[in-house]
Structure 1
Amino acid sequence: MTDAPIGRVSADTMTPLVFIHDAAIDDFIATLLIESMPQFDLKGVIIANADCVPEPGIEVASRVNQFMGRPDLPLGLSKARGWNPFPWPYRGDCIRLGAIPILAPFTSNVPTPPPSGDDLLADMLQAAIDTGTPLTILLTTGFTPLTDVLAARPELAQGVGQIVWMGGALDVKGNLDPSTIPAEVANKHAEWNVFWDPFAADEALARFGEVAVFPLDITDTAAVTKELMATLQAQGAEHSFSQFAYEAYDLVSEEPFYDMWNVTSTVWLDAPELYSAPRQTPLQVVQWGFEQGWLQPAPPEADRPSHNLYLSFADQPGFYDYVTTRLARSA
């Protein structure tokens, strides 16, 4: 049984959106891109304690909000706890991001302890119900921040509109690295946003239909290329958003495995024509054993809703052009 979302907004109305992420470098470029999308109204940002260190993560999020001219954008820290913690070397990227020169003028205005991301999400979902306007959820971390809130208040599921999620790996290898976690759990199929909390991922995919899923199959083809970096650097002389993206990606541009994971799912919101038609299939997640976190098609007898898996670009050069064009702006 799936939760049916409430009615869609009309074409001439901005769509409310919440961005739930874990303060990875790519998440903040995605945030700048959302700000360039006139049809979306970014209502709030929620940070999950996953691929980050939570306090530096939410503090850099506050500084990015100020940088892009949104100092009052609601910001909260989820109470969600994952099952398999991200490696510390990955989580430290948010600290390095906080040291890039373009953010130097900005100071975090997040109190201690940070505002509750759970309360923020609950308030936005209740507003969606009260106004009859569904809330689009862009999720580039595990599903736990959403499933935890709905476990406490199941009625809020009626406020959920489109869910867009970066996670999983279907026809390609996962990204668990045995050099960063014990080989005994580093299976070849799991992707980190699923592996972090496979139980929440399985629960959400069983509950909600037509989730737009962007697995490693497509993000593996969205590398931080030298051409992208050169364009951002050139544009950075006149456009602060490009300079931010250049300085941020420069921290990881020499890492061969670093891709535009979260930007890939974000761009789809505004430019779905750049993506090949999705594969439509129900999904399930292996929850126990060595293959924990393996996202895979569910058998018919599982009686699960179908989801839209975006596995490739229809126009890969157009994807890169979209990113650089949208970032050719200043706060």
Structure 2
Amino acid sequence: MSATNSTPVILLHDAAIDEYIATILLTTMPEVTLSAIIVVNGDCITTPAMNAAWRIQQYIRRTDIPLGLSSARGYNPFPWAYRGDCIKINDLDMLQGLPACATPYQDGDALLADTLRSAKSPVTVLCTGPLTPLAELLSTGEGVALQSRIGRLVWMGGAIAVGGNLDPATLPPGVANSYAEWNVFWDPFAADWIFRNTSFPITLFPLDITNKAAIASSFMGRLLVQAKQYPVSNLAYQSYEIVASESFYDMWDVTATVWLARPEFYQPLETMTLAVVTEDAGMQGALIPDQRGRQIDCAKDFQDIDAFYSYVLAQLAR
């Protein structure tokens, strides 16, 4: 597929390690054109997150892609224990010596609006973090016009028929529930607003499918072999090595990203009518079936998980 008929993509992420790998993958896909990257201060710490993002773009020689920082804030902050991973990736030896991200950072909210405004064809918004920046933009006076520029929202978020991923050990007593996934829980009100006030299709990648995309030892072994030959594989291996020993850490964002280029690796999407729980402390952030809710196209499982891993490895062999 040529660049002239590829799909423009805006990436909204909150700077976890898997999201940096998703960024790299997007730049290798002829099926998409990565038009802008917007970071939200969610599962990260702003300065190392922005520095890591910009240094990675330099490392893969894609400084042509605009990078901005959103001013969005959430209701339920990520635990500090999670947010420090961006420091570790920013400190990787291969990224040292590359210039830090210039300050003041580019306004990510303005970048999101400008990229949608100037789009010549429908844009896919790939969100691998909270939906807050998108909800805040689309609820402005220009929101209806900008919404019409979005062809589809692809979101890694939620849990439907599996448990959530809020760890009681990282939250005050009574805050964690067993239903919510972090990208919804960070700002359930933004997710609810998007569900209730937009009309573009939404494709959801919940924990139901991402739980099956572990950073498997077999995958890491093959990536290590590639790392000895390919600089991008080396960056990916060193990055994943930071979290590979954490049993709960999966390829959440890469799962959603690969679908843009290879939907045949996934079972057919299941359309469900879902709503977001916003107020109930015992279920805040949960996605629940509700006939008054929004129709969502949900990815529930892989058709060929081996092909998924092999594709990721092939794209990183650069």
Q: Kindly indicate whether the alpha-carbon contact (under 8 Å) linking 2:152 and 2:200 is maintained by their aligned counterparts in 1.
A: no
- Which residue number in structure 2 is paired with residue 307 of structure 1? 296
Q: Which residue number corresponds to residue 60 of structure 2?
A: 68
Match of 1:6 in 2: none
SS in 2 for 1:264: helix
Q: Note the 1:222-301 alignment, pairs <5 A.
A: 222-290=213-281, 291-299=283-291
Judge conservation of contact 2:151–2:201 (CA < 8 Å) in 1: no
What is the correspondence of 1:59-208 to structure 2 with a 5 Å cutoff?
A: 59-111=51-103, 113-128=104-119, 131=120, 133-152=121-140, 153-154=142-143, 155-206=145-196, 207-208=198-199
Distance in 2 between the 1:278 and 1:15 partners? 20
SS of equivalent residue, structure 1 residue 187: coil
1:244: how far off? 0.7
Cα separation, 1, equivalents of 2:310 and 2:45: 32
Per the TM alignment, residue 182 of structure 1 is displaced from its structure 2 partner at its CA by 1.6
What CA distance in whole angstroms lies between the structure 1 residues aligned with 2:113 and 2:294?
24
CA distance in 2, matches of 1:44, 1:68: 15
The Cα of 1:305 is off from its aligned counterpart by: 3.8
What code does the residue aligned with 2:137 have? V
C-alpha separation between the residues in 2 aligned to 1:61 and 1:11? 24
- Say whether the 8 Å CA contact 1:82–1:196 is kept in structure 2: yes
Unaligned stretches of 5+ residues in structure 2: none
Q: Which amino acid aligns with 1:307?
A: I
What percent of counterpart residues are identical? 46
- Which secondary structure does the structure 1 equivalent of 2:244 belong to? coil
* Cα distance change on mapping 1:44 and 1:12 into 2, 3 Å: closer
Describe the superposition over 1:247-269 as per-residue Cα deviations: whole angstroms up to 9, x where unpaired: 00000111111100000000000
CA distance in structure 2 between the aligned counterparts of 1:44 and 1:209, rounded to whole angstroms: 20
> Do the aligned partners of 1:209 and 1:307 also contact (CA within 8 Å) in 2?
no
Provide the C-alpha distance between the structure 1 equivalents of 2:50 and 2:299, rounded to a whole number of angstroms: 29
Partner SS state of residue 270, structure 1: coil
- In structure 1, what residue type is equivalent to 2:29? M
Q: Distance in 1 between matches of 2:3 and 2:77?
A: 41
User: In the TM superposition, what are the counterparts of 1:26-45 in structure 2 within 5 Å?
Assistant: 26-45=18-37
Q: Which runs of 5+ in 1 are unaligned?
A: 1-9
After superposition, the C-alpha distances for 1:49-75 in whole angstroms (9 at most, x for unaligned) are 110011211111110110110123201
Structure 2: distance between partners of 1:72 and 1:13: 19
Deviation track 1:259-307 (CA, whole Å, cap 9, x = no partner) reads 00000000000000000111101211100122100011222xx1x4411
Which amino acid letter does the alignment assign opposite residue 266 of structure 1?
T
Structure 2 SS opposite 1:307:
strand
3-state DSSP of counterpart to 2:155: strand
- Pairwise CA distance, 1:209: 4.3
Q: Aligned partner of 2:177: which letter?
A: N
| 1:90 partner letter | Y
* TM-score (norm. length: structure 1): 0.92
CA-atom RMSD, angstroms? 1.4
Tell me how far 1:81 sits from its aligned partner: 0.8
- Kept after mapping to 2: 8 A contact 1:58/1:110: no
Deviation at 1:92, TM superposition (A): 0.6
The TM-score normalised by the length of structure 2 is 0.95
Query: 1:306, 1:252 → 2: CA distance?
Result: 34
In 1: Cα distance, 2:306 partner to 2:199 partner: 32
Distance 2:223 2:153 in 1: 29
> Distance between the aligned counterparts of 2:37 and 2:258, measured in 1?
17
Contact 1:124 1:135 in 2 (8 A): no
3-state SS of paired residue (1:323): helix
